[in-house]
Structure 1
Amino acid sequence: RKMRKEYDAAYALLQPSRRNYKKAIAAFRKFLEKYPQGDLTDNALYWLGETYYVTQDNASALASFDELLQRFPGSEKVPGALLKKGYVLQAMGRKAEAKKVFERLVAEYPDASVARMARTRLKQLK
């Protein structure tokens, strides 16, 4: 399927052997323009946010994670997006907001693998 191929091509740009964040950002943005409501839109938003975070474009990372959380509240990417949103807020010096996001993650998804990481961050923020 064409949509899957385009998603896989964008995702491949994040792999260690081909790592090119600039191209990955462009590819995910193009994918999101083309497939704003596709089956992989939530995943693309997550990886776009992740890529912005890695490249220290915190404002864009925050916008991507927020869009995922607002538009796809039932997505399997929600716990990860909450964790990364907390990381981004912490990196921006917005510790009180980060704490709230980590607390929400732990409360709503206590068994998610990322909840453990959120608990660790919460201890650091105390």
Structure 2
Amino acid sequence: MSMTPPFGTSVALRRGRGRGGGVFLVTALLISSGCAMKGDVKRLQDEVAGQAVRQEAQLEDLSADLQDLQDSLQVQSAIANEMVVDTRGGLARQLRDLQTQQSQMVQLIGQIQREVAMMSQRLQADGGRVTTSTLRADPDSLGALIGRGGGDQADCEQIWGAAIIQFNRGSNAAARAGFNGFLRDCPEDERVARSRFNLGDIAAQQDRPDDAIEEFLRIVQLDPEADEVPLAQYRIGLLYLEQGNAQQARTYLELVVNSYPDDPVAELARVELQGIR
């Protein structure tokens, strides 16, 4: 025998689709069939209440998990941003370091090029003034040659040749004695100015700057028309510059530039003056 559910049963069935829907459905059917006892209803109600509590707890746990996940994502995002910023900053620092190194390399290359050019110009300026002897001379006989007297051309050639050989060897003490002997025995020789210049060069090499300046000044004073004068004045300027006397250095370097503008050594003087100003 079929029974028609009483009014309200369909509502209960529809509501039963929510939380604890299965329990509500059973409860509704029992009530509609008139078979439900009070104890059964109570048990069902307790079960529904317990299931609701469990579901609420599960929802709370799920919400907490979602919050933890959100917090973790925010922390990871912040760390990622910091890493990106740090990476960009590191790249920027590396780029600046490379640019600094490049600038230093360019300056160093420019300095080397200037020094090479100056050495070349010095060789050109000094090359034409180098005097050698046309006679063969025994440099070991220098002591015997000096002070022999006479001062004839042959003796002057022998003394000059021996002194030049010692000078080129780097035997400065023997070369110095030879050039001094040459000045004493051959005072009228055309190589007197060159001999004084070599004596000034030897003094500079022996760290006797005052003696070197004195020898170079003698060339200017005793033979102002000598070819060695521009280079002698230039060397005086350098020696004063090494001593820290910029004013005196400028005086002699400007003298070279103004008095001998077409001489190769004038360009060297201009370079030095740029460093002083």
Q: Deviations over 1:88-118 (max 9, x none)?
A: 1112222101101000100111111111111
Inter-partner Cα distance in structure 2 for 1:31 and 1:44: 8
Inter-partner Cα distance in structure 1 for 2:235 and 2:157: 24
In our comparison, the structure showing a higher alpha carbon Rg is 2
Q: Which residue of 1 aligns with 2:44?
A: none
Given the two structures, how large is their TM-score scaled by the length of structure 2? 0.43
Q: Select 2:220's aligned residue among 69, 82, 87.
A: 69
Relative to structure 2, which stretch is displaced further, 3-12 or 53-62? 3-12
Inter-partner Cα distance in structure 2 for 1:87 and 1:67: 17
Runs of 4 or more off by more than 3 Å in structure 1?
A: none
Q: Which residue of 2 aligns with 1:36?
A: 187
Question: What SS class does the counterpart of residue 110 from structure 1 fall into?
Answer: coil
Question: What SS class does the counterpart of residue 14 from structure 1 fall into?
Answer: helix
Q: Deviations over 1:44-74 (max 9, x none)?
A: 0011111111221101101100111100000
Question: What SS class does the counterpart of residue 167 from structure 2 fall into?
Answer: coil
Q: Select 1:45's aligned residue among 196, 205, 212.
A: 196
Question: What SS class does the counterpart of residue 75 from structure 1 fall into?
Answer: coil
Match of 1:29, as an amino acid? N
Q: Select 1:23's aligned residue among 142, 159, 174.
A: 174
Q: CA RMSD in A?
A: 1.2
Asked if 1:89 corresponds to 2:89, the answer is no
Q: Which residue of 2 aligns with 1:115?
A: 266
Runs of 5+ consecutive residues of structure 2 not aligned to the other structure = 1-153
Identity of paired residues, percent?
25
Greater RCO structure (CA 8 Å; 6+ sep): 1
Inter-partner Cα distance in structure 1 for 2:264 and 2:193: 19
Inter-partner Cα distance in structure 2 for 1:3 and 1:38: 8
Question: What SS class does the counterpart of residue 13 from structure 1 fall into?
Answer: helix
Given the two structures, how large is their TM-score scaled by the length of structure 1? 0.91
Paired residues in the alignment total 124
Give the drift of 1:80.
0.9
Q: Which residue of 1 aligns with 2:158?
A: 5
Inter-partner Cα distance in structure 2 for 1:75 and 1:24: 22
Question: What SS class does the counterpart of residue 36 from structure 1 fall into?
Answer: coil
Question: What SS class does the counterpart of residue 118 from structure 1 fall into?
Answer: helix
